[in-house]
């Protein structure tokens, strides 16, 4: 009998075991005198200074402090009686960095409220930070109507290699997160995303981003970490509701013409769309130190597209509903319990495909609880949560590619086929239970004061994949006038002509089926051409259910030696899929150069292990599709479907795979300067053991492709940033240079056993033996292409921002982004035929492989400005009304989303307008 550990039960037992022995001691320490003595001893300060801090922060002089107030008291005492906010200071000042060794960037509520945004998702706020690169598609036409969260790369990692958290709860999706750019016409997958929930900025009070020297409490990432803190109940207004909107009429579009295109003849289709966003916030104080709040944000988008000559409306909605209870009066010093409901749904069609309506459902719900408690010997933080998310599709089960003949002639004018149907239902779900325990305590030995952090993290994650019935793709239409469909018209249609009565009316005499002239007339008046589909791909019914259990332990010691400070951390992770035991040392430190807390030299060496994606466990169990063909006899009878002789059923194996990891070295300089902070940071990352295609083994009718640790990549980055304040004006600026390289050994090098739909043509130019330029096409897998494209990171990026408080009621923010021209690899609209690589077509003939051409493009420098205006009308008693304007691409500049030499439409200046009412 196998014993399976439930992490929730285990964590409850662990918490009880840890707290019970100390509960009596903690209760004895629950007096003001003991708390004061403990804090004064730790800070080595006097009771008189305590009174000074309490007076300035308006704390009671002789009352037990909550956990958060105790933290603020310690900070004030250590700052010699001057109150210290954790990151930001008073006024409109946005202070993202402080003098510390961690590569941490803090986004305050002021920044979150005033930054120019579109949809307003959390990751949209990160695009102007040093070391962060946004998706190239963010400025494209498609992004205008997409309401999902944006994706970003941090310190060279892929978007899905970042760790996302809210209130200590991880929100990474493990349902194939690398497939966010997947085609809508993909049968075997649903377009994924890095996040389980698409959270709006209105939910959060602050955002912390770690890009280097990342603390040991965070694991399962190779990029960076984004930690959001939701608004506490007492931080919400009593009543607030708002409305924002944008539409295609408020957008400037630019027609871009490629080589050989005549502007006088080209007409580009512009999207017709509108987006609306609704906000509701309610809060109720439940006596002293308790409160409950409701925070709701709902976004909807409608887009009209032309398909088969008609305008069709598609739509998507995304909702965030968070109900939160906060208390400083329960057994915990601060208890926060929240329920989150965040569904996403999109209703779409396949372009130029009849009866193809389908829907995508994502998001889900979560229950999260966080408790902070001073145990006397340590500050204890416990976070427990359960969450569910999905990424599912509902669609017609059959996809048929008819020949474009009479009766089936709805296809576009430039097409020889008419498409019908969809890709079938596919349900993907993720259920996660996790519990984290963290203990912070101070101690002294070797004549040094040490701040220790210890933690235990347990998680059980279940991912399911269900296709409840076969989904079939039919192709290779063949015309047969006497075909007999035998009552099955899914992939067959019988020929139909005018009736004998109609033919007789034309002839002026009775129709005679023995008269050659009459027979010819009937053949010339075919209403529906007889045809049948000769080939089909069957995506088999499957039900996959995998559970991966994870555990982590970590310890960290922070101490000072003179003007030196050190942060020594060690993290251990394990799980039951790869069954690896990963140890991550993390070391960082700083040297106060002049001993005045104004100049700090930072350094660090760390290791980060990638997430053991549950997707791998799912992929290993997936069933391959089956290829079948059929024929027709001379008398029009269809043969039975039979398995194709040449089909190769491919499956994947992850035996003996090690967890990919990244080693990091950092060196930096932080300096107080010009009323703010200057930060210079160099980050070097070397990623190893990345997964790639290994040997293939054929057995039992399948080809098993083994995944092996063969990949390596390297990123170098130098970032310079500054932020400061002058009166009511805040300024920030940063610039980053980066270089990313992937070793040649990381490439698969060949396409043997690579599925046909995963092969592309990589176009390069070489100098041949005659000294002339020659265009060469190389067949590579999409995995290889992804590694090749990683070598083309944007080398120089500059971001600047200015927030101004002109009056108490009027504030503006202006941001600017400069991107140096760079080389990118992207798909073209052309295909290449590989004569030396043959595949079987629908007729069973061997033909050259047709592959989409990917080409290197040289993009020009780009400068984009965004702006926002926030204006509050005069208050009427406790009623407050405010207006907002957000402007993207203020100067109506080119975005270069249309690649050089191509034609298309680019997005220029666009507006969001909003209004908000508040009562408090």
> 344 and 354, same structural domain?
yes
> What is residue 289's three-state secondary structure?
coil
Query: Length of the chain, please?
Result: 920
Give the mean model confidence (pLDDT) for residues 890-918. 90
Between helix 67-78 and helix 32-43 the angle, nearest 10°, is 40
Q: Are 92 and 54 in contact (CB under 8 A)?
A: no
Average pLDDT for 458-474: 95
Distance, in Å, from the CA atom of 84 to the CA atom of 55, rounded to the nearest integer, reads 14
Closest CA to 909 of 865, 868, 874: 865
CB distance 456 to 552 below 8 Å: yes
The answer as to whether 63 is a domain residue is: yes
CA separation for the pair 382, 385 (Å, rounded): 10
Indicate the pLDDT class of residue 790, thresholds 50, 70 and 90: low
Does 639 score more than 60 pLDDT? Answer: yes
pLDDT exceeds 80 at position 189: yes
Distance CA 226, CA 163 (A): 6
In a domain, 575, yes or no: yes
Q: In this predicted structure, which of 90-94, 552-556, 804-808 has the lowest mean pLDDT?
A: 90-94
> Is beta strand 417-421 parallel, antiparallel or unpaired with respect to 353-354?
parallel
Burial class for 513, CB neighbours closer than 10 Å (0-12, 13-18, 19+)? exposed
Contact 538, 625 (CB under 8 A): yes
For 555, half-sphere exposure in the C-beta direction (CA atoms, 13 angstrom radius) is: 2
Give the span between the Cα atoms of 7 and 437, in whole angstroms.
Answer: 12
Final residue belonging to a domain, choices 539, 558, 579: 539
Q: In this structure, are 772 and 793 located in the same domain?
A: yes
Span 715-735, mean pLDDT?
91
pLDDT of residue 262: 66
Question: What angle (nearest 5°) sits at the alpha carbon of residue 677, between those of residues 556 and 114?
Answer: 100
Q: Which of 209-218, 744-753, 851-860 has the lowest mean pLDDT?
A: 744-753
Looking at the fold, whether 428 and 477 belong to one and the same domain comes out as no
* pLDDT tens per residue, range 311-340: 899 999 999 999 999 998 888 999 999 999
pLDDT, residue 24, reads: 33
Same-domain check for residues 503 and 621: no
Q: Residue 722 pLDDT > 70, yes or no? A: yes
In this prediction, residue 61 carries a pLDDT of 65
pLDDT at position 164 is 96
pLDDT above 90 (res 381)? yes
Q: Give the H/E segment covering residue 519.
A: helix 516-524
> Per the domain annotation, does 791 fall within a domain?
yes
Residue 615's contacts (CB-CB under 8 Å, 6 or more residues apart) are 174, 175, 176, 177, 178, 463
Is 426 within 8 Å of 437 (Cβ atoms)? no
How far apart are the C-alpha atoms of 822 and 626, rounded to whole Å? 43
**E strands within 351-416?**
353-354, 358-374, 379-394, 398-403
Confidence band of 696 (pLDDT split at 50, 70, 90): confident
Residue 532's pLDDT is: 94
- Residue pLDDT, tens place only, 333-367: 999 999 999 999 999 999 899 999 999 999 999 99
Inside any domain, residue 124: no
Q: Are 664 and 604 in contact (CB under 8 A)?
A: yes
Looking at residue 20, its pLDDT comes to 36
Task: Specify if 61 maps to a domain.
Answer: yes
Helix (H, G, I), strand (E, B) or coil at 552: strand
Please give the average per-residue pLDDT across 117-130, as a whole number: 92
Domain count across the chain: 3
Beta bridge partners of 294: 282, 323
- Output the pLDDT for position 53: 84
| 521 and 550 part of one domain | no
Q: Are residues 429 and 352 in the same domain?
A: yes
User: Of 28-32, 211-215, 493-497, 716-720, where does mean pLDDT reach its minimum?
Assistant: 28-32
Which whole number is the average pLDDT over 540-561?
95
Instruction: Out of 440-449, 833-842, 897-906, pick the least confident.
Output: 833-842
| Section 582-605 average pLDDT | 94
More confident residue, 419 or 21: 419
What does the alpha-carbon distance between residue 101 and residue 600 come to, in Å, rounded to a whole number? 8
Q: What is the per-residue pLDDT for 340?
A: 97
pLDDT digits (tens, 9 = 90+) for 45-62: 888 888 888 877 777 767
Question: Per the structure block, which two tokens stand in for 527?
Answer: 């209403």
- Position 845 scores a pLDDT of 60
pLDDT at 498 over 50: yes
pLDDT tens-digit map of 289-305? 889 999 999 999 999 88
Whole-angstrom distance, CA of residue 823 vs CA of residue 853: 16
- State the pLDDT at residue 55: 79
Instruction: State whether 448 and 518 are in the same domain.
Output: no
Is a pLDDT exceeding 90 seen at residue 651?
no
Please tell me whether residues 464 and 490 are part of one structural domain: no
Residue 294 sits in a domain whose CATH number is: 2.40.170.20
694 and 705, same domain (yes or no)? yes
Does the residue 485 lie in any domain?
A: yes
Q: Is the pLDDT of residue 562 over 80?
A: yes
Looking at the fold, whether 174 and 208 belong to one and the same domain comes out as yes
Least confident of 15-19, 410-414, 783-787, 826-830: 15-19
Q: What is the mean pLDDT of residues 629-640?
A: 91
| pLDDT > 50? residue 13 | no
Q: Is a pLDDT exceeding 80 seen at residue 632?
A: yes
Q: Is residue 5 part of a domain?
A: no
pLDDT in tens, 87-108: 332 233 345 677 788 889 989 8
Mean pLDDT of 857-867: 88
Max Cα distance, the chain (Å): 119
Percent of the residues in the chain that have a pLDDT greater than 70, as a whole number: 88
One domain, residues 209 and 279:
yes
Helix axes 67-78, 47-56, angle to 10 degrees: 110
Residue 813 lies in a domain: yes
**What is the per-residue pLDDT for 855?**
81
At 139, list the tokens. Answer: 């400025």
| Domain encompassing residue 518 | 472-539
pLDDT at 841: 54
Mean pLDDT of the chain: 85
Are residue 578 and residue 668 in the same domain, yes or no? yes
Q: Which pLDDT score, from 0 to 100, does residue 842 have?
A: 46
What are the tens digits of pLDDT across the range 125-158?
A: 998 899 898 877 778 887 888 899 999 999 988 8
């Amino acid at each position: 009998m196998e014993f399976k550990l439930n992490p929730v039960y285990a964590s409850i037992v662990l918490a009880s075991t840890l707290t019970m022995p100390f509960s009596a001691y903690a209760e004895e320490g629950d007096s003001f005198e003991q708390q004061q003595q403990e804090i004064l001893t730790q800070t080595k300060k006097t009771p008189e200074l305590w009174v000074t801090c309490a007076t300035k922060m308006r704390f009671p002089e002789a009352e037990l402090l909550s956990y958060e107030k105790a933290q603020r008291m310690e900070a004030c005492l250590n700052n010699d009686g001057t109150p210290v906010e954790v990151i930001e200071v008073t006024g409109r000042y946005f202070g993202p960095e402080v003098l510390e060794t961690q590569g941490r960037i803090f986004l305050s509520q002021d920044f979150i409220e005033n930054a120019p945004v579109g949809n307003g998702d959390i990751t949209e706020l990160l695009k102007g930070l040093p070391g962060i690169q946004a998706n190239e598609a963010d400025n494209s036409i498609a992004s205008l109507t997409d309401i999902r969260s944006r994706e970003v790369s941090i310190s060279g990692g892929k978007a899905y290699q970042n760790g996302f958290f809210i209130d200590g709860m991880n929100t990474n999706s493990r349902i194939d997160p690398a497939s966010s750019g997947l085609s809508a016409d993909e049968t075997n997958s649903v377009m994924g995303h890095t996040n389980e929930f698409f959270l709006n900025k209105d939910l959060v009070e602050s955002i912390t981003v770690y890009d280097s020297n990342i603390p040991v409490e965070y694991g399962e990432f190779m990029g960076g970490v984004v930690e959001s803190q939701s608004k506490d109940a007492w931080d919400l207004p009593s009543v607030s509701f708002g409305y924002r909107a944008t539409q295609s009429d408020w957008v400037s579009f630019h027609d871009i013409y490629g080589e050989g295109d005549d502007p006088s003849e080209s007409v580009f289709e512009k999207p017709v769309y509108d987006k609306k966003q609704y906000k509701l916030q309610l809060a109720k104080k439940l006596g002293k130190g308790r409160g409950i709040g409701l925070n709701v944000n709902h976004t909807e988008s409608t887009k009209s597209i032309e398909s088969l000559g008609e305008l069709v409306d598609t739509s998507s909605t995304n909702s965030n509903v968070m109900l939160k209870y906060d208390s400083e009066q329960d057994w915990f010093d601060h208890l926060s319990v929240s329920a989150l409901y965040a569904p996403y749904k999109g209703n779409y069609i396949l372009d130029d495909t009849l009866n193809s309506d389908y829907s995508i459902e994502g998001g889900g719900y979560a229950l999260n609880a966080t408790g902070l408690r001073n145990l006397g010997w340590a500050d204890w933080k416990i976070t427990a949560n359960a969450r569910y998310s999905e990424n599912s599709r509902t669609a017609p089960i059959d996809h048929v590619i008819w020949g474009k003949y009479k009766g089936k002639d709805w296809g576009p004018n430039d097409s020889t086929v008419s498409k019908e149907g969809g890709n079938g239902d596919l349900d993907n779900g993720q259920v996660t239970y996790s519990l984290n325990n963290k203990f912070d305590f101070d101690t002294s030995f070797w004549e040094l004061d040490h701040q220790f952090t210890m933690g235990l993290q347990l998680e059980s994650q279940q991912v399911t994949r269900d296709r409840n019935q076969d989904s079939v793709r039919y192709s290779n239409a063949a015309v047969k006038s006497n075909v007999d469909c035998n009552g099955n018209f899914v992939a067959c249609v019988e020929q139909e002509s005018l009736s004998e009565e109609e033919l007789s009316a034309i002839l002026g005499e009775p129709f005679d089926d023995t008269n050659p002239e009459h027979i010819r007339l009937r053949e010339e008046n075919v209403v529906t051409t007889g045809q049948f589909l000769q080939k089909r791909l069957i995506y088999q019914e499957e039900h996959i259910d995998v559970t991966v259990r994870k555990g982590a332990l970590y310890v960290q010691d922070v101490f000072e030696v003179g003007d030196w400070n050190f942060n020594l951390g060690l993290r251990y992770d394990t799980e039951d899929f790869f069954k690896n035991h990963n140890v991550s040392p993390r070391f960082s430190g700083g040297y106060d150069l002049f001993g005045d807390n104004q100049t700090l030299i930072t350094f660090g060496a760390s290791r980060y292990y990638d997430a053991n994606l549950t997707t791998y466990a799912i992929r290993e169990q997936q069933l391959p599709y089956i290829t079948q063909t059929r024929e027709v006899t001379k008398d029009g009878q269809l043969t039975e479907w039979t398995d194709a002789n040449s089909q190769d059923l491919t499956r994947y194996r992850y035996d003996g795979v090690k967890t990919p990891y990244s080693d990091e070295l950092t060196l930096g300089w932080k300096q107080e300067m010009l009323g703010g902070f200057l930060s210079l940071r160099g980050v070097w990352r070397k990623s190893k053991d990345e997964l790639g295609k290994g040997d293939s083994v054929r057995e039992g009718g399948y080809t098993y492709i083994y995944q092996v640790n063969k990949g390596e990549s390297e990123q170098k980055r130098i970032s310079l940033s500054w932020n400061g304040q002058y009166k009511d004006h805040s300024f920030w600026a940063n610039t980053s240079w980066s270089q990313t390289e992937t070793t040649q050994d990381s490439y698969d090098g060949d396409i043997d056993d690579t599925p046909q739909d995963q092969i592309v043509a990589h176009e390069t130019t070489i100098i041949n033996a005659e000294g002339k330029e020659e265009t060469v096409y190389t067949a590579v897998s999409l995995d290889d292409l992804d590694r090749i494209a990683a070598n083309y990171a944007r080398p120089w990026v500059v971001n600047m921002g200015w927030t101004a408080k002109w009056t108490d009621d009027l504030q503006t923010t202006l941001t600017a982004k400069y991107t140096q021209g760079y080389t990118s690899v992207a798909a073209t609209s052309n295909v290449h035929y590989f004569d030396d690589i043959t595949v079987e077509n629908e007729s069973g003939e061997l033909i050259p492989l047709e592959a989409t051409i990917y080409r290197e493009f040289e993009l020009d420098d780009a400068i984009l400005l965004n702006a926002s205006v926030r204006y509050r009308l005069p208050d009427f008693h406790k009623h407050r009304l405010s207006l907002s304007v957000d402007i993207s691409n203020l100067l109506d500049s080119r975005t270069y989303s249309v690649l050089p030499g191509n034609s298309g439409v680019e997005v220029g200046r666009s507006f969001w307008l909003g209004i908000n009412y508040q009562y408090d």
